[in-house]
Structure 1
Amino acid sequence: MTRRLLLSGLLLCTAGSLAAQDQYELNSEWKSLPIKEVKMDGNKLSLPATALKNWEPATVPGTVLTTMLNNKQVPDPFYGMDNKKIPDIFHTGPEYYTRWFVKDFREMPPATDGQVWLHFRGVNDGCDIYINGKKVNATTHHGAYLRQTYNITAFLAKDGHNRLAVIVYPAAFPGDPNGGQGGDGTIARNVGPQYTAGWDWIQPMRDRNTGIWDKVTIEKTGAVRILDPHIVTSVPGIRQPDGQQAPAILHVQATLQNPTANAISGKLKYQLEGKSIQQEVTLAPKGSATVVLPDLTLENPRLWWPAGYGPQHLYQLPLEFITDGKISDREEVEFGIREIQTAWNTHTRSREVLVNGQRIFIKGGNWITSDAMFRFSKERYDAEIRFHRDMNLNLIRIWGGSLTERPEFFEACDKYGLLVFQDFWMSGDCNGRWLDPQKKDDQWTRRQYPNDHNLFLESVADQVKMLRNYPSLAFWCGGNEITPPQDILAAMKDSILPKLDGARYFFDYSNSDSMSYNFIGGNGDGPYGIQTVAHFWEDRTFPFNSEVGSVGVGDLVSLQRFLPKENLVAPDFSKKFVDSIWDYHKYIGYNNSIDPYGTPKNLEDWANKAQLVNYDQYRALMEGFSAHMWDWYTGAIIWKTQNPWTALRGQMYDYYLDPNACLYGLHSGSKPLHVMYNPVEKMVMIVNNTFAYHRDLMLEINAYDMAGKQTSLGQLFVEATPGSVQKHVELKTIVDKLKSQKGIFLSLRLRNLQKEIVDDNCYWLTDANGNYSGLQEMSTVKPTVTATRKSGEVVVTVSNPTGGPLAFFNRISLLDASSKERILPVFYSDNYITVLPGEKKEIVISGEKAATKNTVVEIFGHNVNKQLVEIK
């Protein structure tokens, strides 16, 4: 839900002479000082005449640590072990990170009955607020997630020169960052993010993300303000993404607030698709009311679908309150028409997800937050969610030790078709599920965290109101691997969510039996870390696994961004290599999985071979789950797909938005219509994870040796029924024979009747000893590479000549022509590509930065020397 900037000149519509209302962000020219350096109270400090001599520039939105970093007072906590050089709040005490933030702004008092409002979308953890010599909030605010709104009309200076002063207090319980999950666990006494005390994928954030971490805005309205609109769409029946649609029903309501001393009558209304819906209402003085509008039946609606299943149509609903012929307030709400249901699959013993009546096989990724220091931007959110769409995923789970994600995150998920599974702020590690010697309190005590249950519930209600209109939001969840305390759980489940939402399924906790019946034992999720490729196919795990994953180290370019030069040394498992900085960045071992590719010559060679492992791991993970779709599984959520810090594990792209081979292995293995090779049964299979019936597909199976010699293993027409997995050709004898000496490449393709390739999958298989001996001896090839700029995109064509080996596993990058550094972020239609002899492939580089001038394309591969290609 977004409130658009409405200027008076744009309001000349249906209601005659209109009040000018708008909203703007206070996001620049803030100043700050630590509390110990400020020798006055907030009343004096907030007077515009008070001089601010030697005050530091501040970053708002942003944490205290962000301001200190931008002022070069601390080193970059994401580089090397510099985070250890920053004082930790547990040792310094809270005053060290308690700060004043001051902002001068221009705003005249409104005429007649106009109102001016001050909004804070997130302050961690507490604050007191002053404007023009007066305290705004009657009591100190607490709660990292709880939004704040204040009517500041009476506080504004007559000359329009105003000063806002905010003192921000850290959380009462920062916790001891002793290396445990959430440190000593006491950070969970607060209602705030737990990971900031450290986890097994991050070091502690030294200020625990204290600060005005989210947007501060000024809003101007007439006498009556619209808040918390709520749109629910009903889509009865079983739908298809295309063709004529049966009607859908729109249910709309909103709360109206009248801060004046007079009763006000008017109407709440909107227009959509040529129909006008309205409701008359009278608001008491200083009163508010929730107004339910008549339902609207939409004919032939344009539906919203998850990625891979259909388009993501979105509507704009302009909601207005009109009194005395004038618009008092207007909110434009973006929404999608869709209905999400769940059902219990008695065969798999897990929950399955339905959208618009069609069941969706969940291919998801776990998400922490975009940036560990809460440096958020709409552009970064858009890039990260686009990466998830490009992985052919359809769901993101927001892990409970972090936050309720920001509206800009959900806007990107709406745009790209990613369903969202939103945890609330609990984790079994801190909240007492397990006995843990690193925790300060016993399980019984931790089980009742946080200290303030009412604040937790108030925050839940507020965040539900903020996020409930996004079509991508699919599920609420009580917490990560644990339920909230019983009184919190009961209030959420029985009161808050039914009243304020009522349209989404609620999971008690992330791996509860209501999601996935645990017939295996353990915690109900995992495994984590490196697995054999065969494991993903033959070893059964939980039927809707909320966390399952593997490795994710980037290549040399990625490692060089945050590891000092002296630490750029390849891990050596045989020597039990442990580098303190690698360990500090939570390296998860590849063990001996790189050995079959040959002993690495250096870190660059090691990292390039790690990409082969990365690709294989994540292609196999999703292929293995898809192979057992609706039989063993209803879905899987990878732990995890991104890092908000420079960690050396679990990521498809690094913190700097540079993708690695994990992303493209997943991109391949998650394709909605996909041909794949089961390495256990030696069977070629086709998965159709769409609603369409694909007829007359030509399946082509070919093997290539290391010299590029082709052996045809079959060609036949096949069909792929909707939502199915089908076995087609068994290859055991011939594949084992062909690969026995040096391994082979196995090429699987699907073509349509126009002979166009609709899926292309190439495996590299070991020799009889489990080694990639042939890869170690491959001859170098010299493909012809061209790059052409077209309509803001770059099209790269890689042509491999006949008579030689495959051009194997080529990484393509867009570089700045002068610095030779990668342009980030950009998006590749595919990467780490293999080109067969006598063939060519086109890769499209897109995204806003793909249009950057003075760029070149870099390409290198396993047997392709690095070259730079001029863009024509």
Structure 2
Amino acid sequence: MKTNELFRWGASLSAALVLALSASGGPVSLNGKWELSFWPQSGEAVLSPEGLEKIEATTIPATVPGNVEIDMEAAGLIADPRVGATVNDLRKYEGYQWCYARRFSAPELRSGQRAELAFGGIDCLGEVWVNGVHVGSSDNMFIEQRYDVTDCLKAGDDNLVQVILRPVVLESQKHLLGTFSMGNFASEESVYIRKAPHMYGWDIMPRLVSAGLWRDVALEIVEPVRIADVNWVTTNVDAETGNARLFVDFQTRMPFDRFDKARMRFTLSRNGKQVYQGERILFTHAGRQIIELQNADLWWPRGYGEPALYEARAELLDIDGEVVDTDVRKIGLRTVKLDLSDINLPDERGRFCFEVNGEKIFVRGTNWVPLDALHSRDAAQYESALKLVTDANCNMIRCWGGNVYEDTRFFELCDENGLMIWQDFAMGCAFYPQRDDFLDGLRREVMSVVLKLRNHPSLVLWAGNNEDDANLYWGLMAFHLDPNRDAVSRRVIPEVLYEFDVTRPYLPSSPYYSEAVWEKGSTDEYLPENHLWGPRGYYKDPFYTTAPCTFVSEIGYHGCPNRSSIERMMSPDCVYPWTDKDRRWNDEWITKSTRRFVAWGPTQDRNNLMLNQVNILFGSVPDDLDEFVFASQAVQAEAMKYFVEMWRGRKFERTGIIWWNVRDGWPIISDAVVDYYGSKKLAYYFLSNVQRNVCLFINDPREGTYPLVAVNDTREAARGTVTVTDAATGREVFRGSYTVPANGRSEVAALPVAEGQGMFVIRYDVGGETFANHYLYGEPPYALSDYKKWLSKTKLYDNRDK
């Protein structure tokens, strides 16, 4: 059983079972019941078991994987921080230390075996002790930690592991910071310590500077003869014939007397059928096996073909032919390229286009933010959250840099569902240290992440960070720093990728301020790829409609959650009204907006976005909560639908849109189209409808007519019939047929511009199925009652969440 299997184990095991597993080389799960002790740090931090004896601490039961807040809530010490403004009460615990402890059983090791204590995630600054012996330290929340504990273990039940954690907000004071970038979100205290940036507070998450053992813990027995690493690499494919070439780079660990006798065996199978097997004698500990396949099934993104996966098996055979170690994983055969130019110019549009297996891909994507502020709850939500993505027919997820790196199961699900992954490294909106001590630690992090994830076909892009390039421009005003001198994104990360993963494109930052852009003055007009937030007023503002970028990787609009969710996230007295008679916001709505520090006072600007946007589209803001919820969601839905249709309508002049965002990671009021509780806002239904592989829609008028556009994000031509009617009068505006080429766009008709206000309903068929869409025509403000009446006549969204 390999390491990636051990992190699926559940509760702790009996001593007898421990011995049985050790005999077969299996891991011993240390998940389950632990003890958690905590105390406020005063003066120097406690670092050892001896120091623990000198302090007074509170001790409660704990569960691993877990976070300290979850255990304190279970013990009745704190209220649920997801409700109301109670998350603010956790501020005082930022100055606490924590100690996780448990006793466990260990096997008697055979000759040559070693024992390692494996932590999927330690949050964050920790000292690990086993039986009173210091076995290692942790200074990085993001990566797996392993400690050799062979020499301090005792066979049997009487082993004690202790993990002593110290507070990052106090530890951060020990690091001298350079020039502050003074961004809108990232906290200066966050940049030196490798912990999820959002935990210090963001506009999408509360300030919740947690601690814990947030992923699985296990004792693993390491054999003297084993596979150390396997990397399956597709070098080229022919999409027409299915011919593919790949190689397998492998490394082993074994004594010298196995050389020239031990063998590696490689097997590829698909749907239970073996398509390749080859062996080689091990003359050295490492090597490469080259594989040629004919008529192979390729991995394709959603809509463009099947995301075919192969079982890839590597086996290490000892001198007598016995299999002593096995590495099994699913791989996909595909190539990926990002056609990227350094600058966007008025007479030469900048390029930013993904190509998979030589085919240009139009990206319909969503940004992926934390699934929970307390990350031990992440893994249980992978399936449900990714179903939201696939049901909305996205083909790309951008894993945003303020988050953690998702675990292996997330990437497996994306592999299976044809979801391309754009993976930011975990940095955002800040200027990170340039000194060697920080860079050396970051290099280890990047190596760890790349080695863990590089075999997944869904992973199509590494990006250095979120908005660090832009932040150097925004935050330093007249004293702009050239991001092309940044050692993190221009030196350390690409050096690791050059050595360990040359198969994927690398984007230094999103958006990327290349040297050519920098020389021009770093304004948005020169960026081929950009984040479009802008005035956040009317969604047809020229900021959006005339945006020069080719690809937009962030764009969004605020929308109020459904009433049922508001009632869950607020205390009963604060559900409504959100302001008093003097238009002062109640504190819970401010907390949910979100506010980093209570000392900031009444920061209601993000909630006011909803009021402003509703007032623009409908002329007034309803006082009734249900009416306000609908109006706010309608504005968000129309805006998000409009953005996607505007981008798709200019395919491949525009090459993709990744909207913000599919789901909240906390009960808040936000741009997400699904809230923390899984309740869908109206925008989710609008987006799902306009992200079909083949879709017909109406774009805004050009040269006096409405373009009726058909787009096709598949590799086969599509055709059918289409009608357009006016929802208010039932008048038929157009009836005809359409044809759209494979992976193409066609203009079906030029419709006359209608006078006044109303809503067109577009009904069309694809492959024997009938679909519908709508287009809101005229200029705002619209009467909310008229809008509701028109929308109801489309019958498109009658079964939505409310």
Scaled to the shorter chain, the TM-score interval is 0.7 to 0.9
User: C-alpha displacement at 1:622, in angstroms?
Assistant: 0.5
Mapped pair 1:152 → 2:149: yes
Question: Deviation per CA, 1:535-567, whole angstroms, max 9, x where unpaired?
Answer: 698333422222221113221012111012222
Aligned twin of 1:724: 744
Question: Deviation per CA, 1:383-417, whole angstroms, max 9, x where unpaired?
Answer: 11221122222212222222222222212221222
Mapped pair 1:700 → 2:723: yes
Mark the CA change 1:209 to 1:772 in structure 2 (over 3 Å): closer, same or farther. Answer: closer
Aligned twin of 1:169: 166
CA distance in 2, matches of 1:127, 1:202: 25
Q: Is the 8 A contact 2:680 2:800 kept in 1?
A: no
Aligned twin of 1:600: 622
Q: Is the 8 A contact 2:248 2:289 kept in 1?
A: yes
Mapped pair 1:685 → 2:709: yes
Aligned twin of 2:504: 504
For residue 216 of structure 1, what is the amino acid of its counterpart? V
Mapped pair 1:197 → 2:200: yes
User: C-alpha displacement at 1:502, in angstroms?
Assistant: 0.9
Question: Deviation per CA, 1:310-335, whole angstroms, max 9, x where unpaired?
Answer: 22222222222222433332221222
Mapped pair 1:540 → 2:547: yes
Aligned twin of 2:401: 400
- Higher deviation after alignment, 147-156 or 119-128: 147-156
Extract unaligned runs of 5+ from structure 2: 10-21, 174-181, 470-482, 594-605
Q: Is the 8 A contact 1:175 1:197 kept in 2?
A: no
User: C-alpha displacement at 1:89, in angstroms?
Assistant: 5.2
Aligned twin of 1:830: none
User: C-alpha displacement at 1:534, in angstroms?
Assistant: 7.2
TM normalised by structure 2 equals 0.82
For residue 507 of structure 1, what is the amino acid of its counterpart? L
User: C-alpha displacement at 1:724, in angstroms?
Assistant: 2.5
Aligned twin of 1:278: 279
Aligned twin of 1:20: 24
Aligned twin of 1:119: 118
2:281 is paired with a residue of what secondary structure? strand
Q: Is the 8 A contact 2:350 2:549 kept in 1?
A: no
Aligned twin of 1:526: 532
Aligned twin of 1:671: 692
Aligned twin of 1:76: 80
Which of 324, 330, 337 matches 1:328?
324
User: C-alpha displacement at 1:19, in angstroms?
Assistant: 6.8
Aligned twin of 1:86: 90
Structure-to-structure mapping, 1:363-382, within 5 angstroms: 363-382=364-383
Mark the CA change 1:209 to 1:521 in structure 2 (over 3 Å): closer, same or farther. Answer: farther
1:202 is paired with a residue of what secondary structure? coil
2:168 is paired with a residue of what secondary structure? coil
Q: Is the 8 A contact 2:139 2:193 kept in 1?
A: no
Mapped pair 1:297 → 2:292: yes
Aligned twin of 1:834: none
Greater relative contact order: 1 or 2 (C-alpha under 8 angstroms, separation 6 or more)?
Answer: 2
Q: Is the 8 A contact 1:361 1:689 kept in 2?
A: yes
1:231 is paired with a residue of what secondary structure? strand
For residue 190 of structure 1, what is the amino acid of its counterpart? I
Aligned twin of 1:411: 412
Aligned twin of 1:60: 64
Q: Is the 8 A contact 1:225 1:328 kept in 2?
A: yes
Mapped pair 1:480 → 2:466: yes
Question: Deviation per CA, 1:125-167, whole angstroms, max 9, x where unpaired?
Answer: 2222222343323xx3322223222333444323354332222
Structure-to-structure mapping, 1:375-390, within 5 angstroms: 375-390=376-391
Mark the CA change 1:320 to 1:46 in structure 2 (over 3 Å): closer, same or farther. Answer: farther
Q: Is the 8 A contact 2:47 2:127 kept in 1?
A: no
Question: Deviation per CA, 1:258-307, whole angstroms, max 9, x where unpaired?
Answer: 4x797676223222243323333367xxxxx4x22311122222221112
Q: Is the 8 A contact 1:516 1:545 kept in 2?
A: no
Q: Is the 8 A contact 2:717 2:743 kept in 1?
A: no
Aligned twin of 2:599: none
Aligned twin of 1:466: 452
User: C-alpha displacement at 1:619, in angstroms?
Assistant: 1.1
Which of 562, 565, 570 matches 1:555?
562
Mark the CA change 1:352 to 1:573 in structure 2 (over 3 Å): closer, same or farther. Answer: farther
Q: Is the 8 A contact 2:242 2:298 kept in 1?
A: no
User: C-alpha displacement at 1:730, in angstroms?
Assistant: 2.7
User: C-alpha displacement at 1:35, in angstroms?
Assistant: 5.6
Aligned twin of 1:452: 438
User: C-alpha displacement at 1:492, in angstroms?
Assistant: 3.1
Mark the CA change 1:525 to 1:44 in structure 2 (over 3 Å): closer, same or farther. Answer: closer
Mark the CA change 1:389 to 1:541 in structure 2 (over 3 Å): closer, same or farther. Answer: farther
User: C-alpha displacement at 1:522, in angstroms?
Assistant: 9.3
CA distance in 1, matches of 2:781, 2:46: 76
For residue 481 of structure 1, what is the amino acid of its counterpart? E
Which of 610, 631, 652 matches 1:590?
610
For the aligned residue pairs, the C-alpha RMSD in angstroms reads 3.7
Aligned twin of 2:305: 310
2:282 is paired with a residue of what secondary structure? strand
Mark the CA change 1:355 to 1:515 in structure 2 (over 3 Å): closer, same or farther. Answer: farther
CA distance in 1, matches of 2:547, 2:250: 47
Q: Is the 8 A contact 1:235 1:248 kept in 2?
A: yes
Aligned twin of 1:350: 351
Q: Is the 8 A contact 2:172 2:193 kept in 1?
A: no
Aligned twin of 1:661: 682
Mark the CA change 1:276 to 1:293 in structure 2 (over 3 Å): closer, same or farther. Answer: farther
Aligned twin of 1:12: none
Mark the CA change 1:231 to 1:342 in structure 2 (over 3 Å): closer, same or farther. Answer: same
CA distance in 2, matches of 1:677, 1:111: 71
Identical columns (%):
21
Q: Is the 8 A contact 1:189 1:449 kept in 2?
A: no
User: C-alpha displacement at 1:370, in angstroms?
Assistant: 1.5
Q: Is the 8 A contact 1:381 1:409 kept in 2?
A: yes
User: C-alpha displacement at 1:40, in angstroms?
Assistant: 11
User: C-alpha displacement at 1:473, in angstroms?
Assistant: 0.9
Question: Deviation per CA, 1:614-652, whole angstroms, max 9, x where unpaired?
Answer: 321211110011112222x22222233332222211102
Which of 810, 825, 828 matches 2:798?
810
Aligned twin of 1:868: none
Q: Is the 8 A contact 1:767 1:773 kept in 2?
A: no
Q: Is the 8 A contact 2:772 2:796 kept in 1?
A: no
Q: Is the 8 A contact 2:40 2:93 kept in 1?
A: no
User: C-alpha displacement at 1:676, in angstroms?
Assistant: 0.4
1:388 is paired with a residue of what secondary structure? helix
Mapped pair 1:712 → 2:716: no
- Higher deviation after alignment, 371-380 or 463-472: 371-380
Mark the CA change 1:704 to 1:232 in structure 2 (over 3 Å): closer, same or farther. Answer: same
2:628 is paired with a residue of what secondary structure? helix
User: C-alpha displacement at 1:123, in angstroms?
Assistant: 1.3
1:59 is paired with a residue of what secondary structure? strand
Q: Is the 8 A contact 1:221 1:329 kept in 2?
A: no
Aligned twin of 1:188: 191
For residue 687 of structure 1, what is the amino acid of its counterpart? V
Q: Is the 8 A contact 1:536 1:621 kept in 2?
A: no
2:798 is paired with a residue of what secondary structure? strand
Q: Is the 8 A contact 1:692 1:722 kept in 2?
A: yes
Aligned length: 726
TM normalised by structure 1 equals 0.76
Q: Is the 8 A contact 2:560 2:610 kept in 1?
A: no
CA distance in 2, matches of 1:730, 1:236: 41
Structure-to-structure mapping, 1:196-235, within 5 angstroms: 196-205=199-208, 208-235=209-236
CA distance in 1, matches of 2:47, 2:257: 36
